[in-house]
Every structure is written in C-alpha cells, then in structure tokens.
Amino acid sequence: MLRKLFKFHGGVKPPTNKAHSTTAPIASVPLPDRLVIPLHQSVGGHPRPLVQPGDQVFKGQRIGGADGNLSSAVHASTSGIVRDVLPAVMPHTSGLTTLSVVIEPDGEDRWGELDRINVRAATPDELRDYLRDAGVVGLGGAVFPSHLKLKPGKEGKLDTLVINGAECEPFITCDDMLMRERATDMLKGISAMRHMLQARDVLIGIEDNKPEALAAVRAAIAAAGEPGIEALAIPTRYPAGGAKQLIRVLTGIEVPHGRRSTDFGVQCFNVGTAYSIHDALEHGRPLISRVVTVAGNVDAPRNYDVLIGTPMDHVVRLAGARPDTDRYIMGGPMMGVRMPAFDVPVVKATNCILVGSPVLFPPPPPEMPCIRCGECAKACPADLAPFEMYWFSRARNFGKTQEYHLFDCIECGCCSFVCPSHIPLVDYFRFSKSEIWAREREKEAADTARERFEFKNLRQEREKQEKAEKLAAKAAATREKVAGDTATAPPGAAAAVTKPGGDDAKRALIEAAMEKARLQKAQVAPKNLDVTSPDVQAEMAAIDARRHAAREASSDPHPPAGQA
C-alpha cells in the first residue's frame, strides 16, 4: 500500500556530500591514551560524579549518576584508572568547561558487572528508570533523555511512533550506515519502544537518497514479521530530518512550538537511539559509544564506532585530515557547531565530526542589505518571515521579533543558506533569543527582589501594627486598672479574644499579599522560559559570552553574535 506523504513548507537542497563516507563499513577506533568524559552530556540536570581520582573503573561502570529524573547517567567507556575529575573544555563553540572524568585506559577494555533487566517482567516505570541509568539519550543531536520521551500521552497510548532515519544534513551518514549494518537490532529496539509507548503504528522515515538503508530496514521488517511497522522513503530535502518536519511529512501533523508531540498522538526517535535502547535492554550495555561520521576535509571520509570521551583528533587522524584543516565542526554544515579545539571529546551528541578548511567552507561574501526578496521566507520550514525578524532584531525591537514568532525558529539555517544578500540571518535570531533570555532572567531577578522588598514592607507594616496594638492593649489594661473595676471579666480574657483574631487577619493579609505577588510574577513570567529546555538554558551562558564580545567589538547597533 502506498502511504500518503505530506509536505512541509520551505526547505533547501544543499549538495549532500554523503557518497564518500558510505563506501566502507563502520570501523572501530583503537583505544586513545585518555578519555575525557563530560558528566553533563544531555539535556537536563548535571549528573554527580560517582568516582574519584585513582579509582579503578570498568567498562560500562556508572561514573555519573542521573541528577533527578530529568537527567541521564554517564558511564566509563572502557576499563582503566580515573586520573582526574575536573572541568574540561566541552565540545561547544563557547569553549566553556564542564566537569569531566578523565580516564586512562588500561588497554584491557574489561566490562564491569552489568545491570540486567528482564524486559518482559519489568513494568514500564522500571524500564524507564533502567534506561535513565543506562544513559540512553537521543542520538539525533538533541540528546534528550530517552526515558522521558518513552511515556505515552494522557491516553496511555500513541497513534504513531515515528522513527527518524531521514538524516537530512549534508555529509552526515552515521544513521545511514547504522541502518545498513544494524537494522535488525535497531528494529528490536523499535519494538521495545513501541511496546512502552503502546504505539499503534510505527513509521520509519528515510530520505530517498539512502536506498541501501531503506532496503536493509525493509528486509529486517520483513524478517521480523511484526505487523504495523513501515519504512518509508521521503523526498530528500533539508530539514526533513527535523523531528517536527518528519512528523509532518509522515503523519501530516504539525506540532506547534512549545507543545508535546504526544498530545497529538506521535512521538519521534532517532534510529541510533533505537539501536542503543536495544543494546541496553537486551545486553545490559549502557550508552558508551556511538557511530560518528568523519567527513569533510579528510582523505577517507568514513563512519567509526567511537567510545564516548575519545578526543576528536584521535578519530580524525584515522580518516587522514588534510594539512589545511582549520576547524572541526560537530554536526553538519547547516547546523553544526564549531569546536573550540581539536582535542575536545566525542560526546553522545556527536553525530559527525566535520573537518573544515577555508576552501571547503569559505567565509561568506560580504553582507549586503536585505532587499526583501522573500527567498528566506520561501525557504523557512517554520513558515516564518525571517527578513521581518531580521529587521526587528537589528533594531533591537525584540518584542516585535516575538510577534513574528522568533521562538518558532528552529535555527535550521535555511534562510541564511538562500539569502542573496548573504545575511547571517540565523546569527541574528540566536542573538535575539539570547538577548530575550538575558532580559527575562534580569526581569526574573528583579521580580524576586521586588517580592522580597514587598515582603519586607509587609513585615514592617505588620510590626508597626503589632506595636500599636500592644500599646493599645497596654493602654486599655492601664485604663482598666485605673478604673479599678474587678467585677468584669479579667483584662487578659479580652486580649485573648482579640489578639488571635488580629493575628488571623494579619496572616490572611500577608498571605493575600504573597499570593498577589506570586500571581503577578506568574503573569510576567517569561513565556519562553517555560519551554526553554535546560540544555538551551545552558547554552545561553555561551551565547551571552559571544554577545558581550560582539558588543565590545562594535558599538554600532548592527552586531550580531558571530560577526565579531
């Protein structure tokens, strides 16, 4: 049966550059001298270190415990000695550091004792906890802890489980190779997820430029014989592999910004994640390695199975980086981030190490003014009007950028890609978002201060009132004494009646005031922070740094980050 596919607006067709890295199978990488494993690798809280310098660790041993439920564990990728637990440069443009465990491999690559789980007997909650402790996170790039997404919506079941094998970014082929080589295991992972989500259908979307992967997945489906799972070829068009775009293409549903896809009966996982889930559930192996594409300015682009924590240059060396290499990019050329150094570690989010050179990725031609040609709007998969947002970003009219739905921008880069004026539009949008976040944080701080201030006023008022009442009571008592009338009730009784009443009134007053303050705060509470993932919030610090740099570099109100 031919399933009807849907279209998303916009998108672009950059040269895919995928052929070279798919000629050879996924290769393994010799153990490096040192593994640097950042503890914070996924969206969510920072895992606490569970090891100390000098500790012997085994492969698969947990070295970072999940911090609360919105977090995911981290493991030793090989056996060896912990040399250090210290802040190390993380694979992010900002060059900021993050607490990392440095392991010196002993070369034996010995597995520790693995937690096993009886998949059939375990409850869904137990499975989720298990996956959290196995460190399974989304491998498509978003690194969202998978256990959090493996909950069906309110109805307890799902219409469609969407599996993302689109891989639309140029150069990246790790999912392609994984599907070609590990389709059967991947499918087992999909079955497990389907079971946990109570999903009726499973749709695996694969861009039609990967016929081999599609064939392998279809063969695996046929062999497994499980009904209701279908692999579909979707038109090759960036960013068809964006979760929202893929859901749209396969189901016709558009999940709005800030809404959960399960509210619409869909959930989306990457093919690599499915494989890791299988590995964890079936073999008890936590997520300690992943497939990474090494491509770009190298002699032999290829995919490698890389231990988390391996320095990037250790892997790139195998593919033969060319001498004019000037940078590594983590991810693809459309959305990838430039690395601050060559030896930053491969992390769970590293789908590709794109080796760059000035020839391969030349600086864009000089920026010209916007001619309002609308090319960017035509290319925008979020149906935005980038040139309007650009206009208001430049004018620092951030309220207006939000009216034009700045926060619906998925930063896919299509607009910058097509702009004939070579305007780095996404940079402006990142800049505006970071400005807005910064302002909202300031506002939040101010709100807290104001709340404190209001509370202080309230307290002072209350104290004044209490003083006055005490004085009044004293005066009354004195009067009574002076009157010398002892026939009536003792003076204390009257006070005992009135005082608690006064206290109640005061308490009610205070509570009302605090409630009011709370409500006010809720009203002004930034809309956007609600849906800002902790990951994004973490990134804000980095953007802030760039923003300040940009500000200092130019006093002209035409700045954005990245131009400095």
Partner 1 sequence: MINSPYIRKPASVQSVMLQVLLALVPGIAAYVWFFGAGILVQLAIASVAALAGEAAMLAIRGKPKALFLTDLSAIVTAWLIALTFPPIAPWWLTVTGTLLAVVIVKQLYGGLGQNPFNPAMAAFCLMIVAYPALMSQWPAAGQLDFKTQIELIFGGARHVDAITGATPLDALRTALRSAASPDSELHGLRAAQLMDGPAFGLLGGKGGEWVAFGYLLGGLWLIQRRIITWHIPAAFCGALFATAGLLWSLRPEGFASPLFHLASGGAMLGAFFILTDPVSGATTARGKLLFAAGAAVLTYVIRAFGAYPDGIAFATLLMNILVPIIDMKTQAPVFGHKKD
**What is the smallest separation between the CB atom of 390 and ligand SF4, expressed in angstroms?**
5
Which of the stretches 18-26, 219-227, 366-374, 511-519 binds partner 1 when contact is defined by CB under 8 A? 366-374
* Closer residue to ligand SF4 (CB): 57 or 379: 379
Spatial distance between the Cα atoms of 222 and 225, rounded to a whole number of angstroms: 5
Say whether 172 sits in a helix, a strand or coil. Answer: coil
Binding of residue 361 to partner 1 (CB under 8 A):
yes
Amino acid 348 reads K
Q: Which of 299, 313, 277 is nearest to 136 (CA)?
A: 277
Q: Which residues in 231-250 contact partner 1 (CB under 8 A)? A: 244, 248
**Alpha carbons 495 and 445: distance in angstroms, whole number:** 42
Sequence-ordered alpha helix ranges (H) in 30-115: none
562 interface partner picked from ligand SF4, partner 1, none, CB below 5 to 8 A per type: partner 1
Residue 494 parent element (H or E): helix 491-524
Residues 391-450 that bind partner 1 (CB under 8 A): 404-405, 408, 413, 416-422, 424, 426-427, 430
Rounded (5°) CA angle 520-522-525: 110
Q: At what angle do helices 386-394 and 425-483 cross, to 10 degrees?
A: 60
**Token pair 């990037």 is at which residue?**
312
* Per-residue contact string for residues 137-176; x = within reach of ligand SF4 by CB under 6 A: ----------------------------------------
Q: Which of 259, 439, 516, 518 binds partner 1 (CB under 8 A)?
A: 259
| Residue 79 touching ligand SF4 (CB under 6 A) | no
Please state, in angstroms and rounded to a whole number, the distance separating the CA atoms of residues 499 and 459.
17
Three-state SS at 273: helix
Q: 425-483 vs 491-524: helix axis angle to the nearest 10?
A: 170
> What secondary structure letter does DSSP report for 345?
B
Contact 269, 193 (CB under 8 A): yes
Nearer to partner 1, 3 or 257 (CB): 257
Binding partner of 484, given partner 1, ligand SF4, none, CB within 5-8 angstroms per partner class: none
- Residue 390 binds: one of ligand SF4, partner 1, none (C-beta under 5 to 8 A by kind): ligand SF4
Considering beta carbons, is residue 173 or 432 the nearer one to ligand SF4?
432
Exposure of 553 by Cβ count < 10 A (0-12 exposed, 13-18 middle, 19+ buried)?
Answer: exposed
Instruction: Single out the residue of 44, 386, 424, 559 in contact with ligand SF4 (rule: CB under 6 A).
Output: 386
CA 259 to chain centre: 15
Q: Is 381 in the site for partner 1 (CB under 8 A)?
A: yes
Q: State the nearest-atom distance from the C-beta of 91 to ligand SF4, in Å.
A: 22
Tokens of 275: 């494989």
Min CB(22)–partner 1 separation in Å: 19
- C-alpha–C-alpha distance, residues 450 and 463, integer Å: 20
Total residues interacting with partner 1, rule: CB under 8 A: 63
**Phi and psi based region of residue 383 (left: phi greater than 0; alpha: psi -120 to 50; beta: remaining):** left
Q: How many CA atoms lie within 13 A of 85 on its CB side?
A: 15
> Which does residue 14 bind out of partner 1, ligand SF4, none, counting CB within 5 to 8 angstroms by kind?
partner 1
Stretch that binds ligand SF4, among 84-92, 269-277, 293-301, 380-388 (CB under 6 A): 380-388
The binding track of 161-200 with respect to partner 1, each residue x by CB under 8 A or -, is: ---------x------------------------------
Total interface residues for ligand SF4 by CB under 6 A: 30
Which of 24, 219, 341, 371 contacts ligand SF4 by CB under 6 A? 371
Q: Residue 36 gets which letter from DSSP?
A: E
Q: Footprint of ligand SF4 on residues 404-443 (CB under 6 A)?
A: 409-415, 418-421, 423, 425-426, 429
Residue 183 or 384 having the CB closest to ligand SF4: 384
Q: Which of 514, 142, 171, 508 is nearest to 334 (CA)?
A: 171
- Inter-helix orientation angle 174-197/124-133, to 10°: 150
Among 31-39, 326-334, 345-353, 467-475, which window interacts with partner 1 (CB under 8 A)?
Answer: 326-334
Give residues with Cβ within 8 angstroms of 272, minimum separation 6: 139, 140, 174, 175, 178, 290, 291, 351
Write out the residues near partner 1 by the rule CB under 8 A. Answer: 8-9, 12, 14-15, 93, 170, 244, 248, 254-257, 259, 329, 331, 333-338, 356, 361, 363-366, 368-375, 377, 381-385, 387-388, 404-405, 408, 413, 416-422, 424, 426-427, 430, 561-564
Write out the residues near ligand SF4 by the rule CB under 6 A. Answer: 370-376, 379-382, 384, 386-387, 390, 409-415, 418-421, 423, 425-426, 429
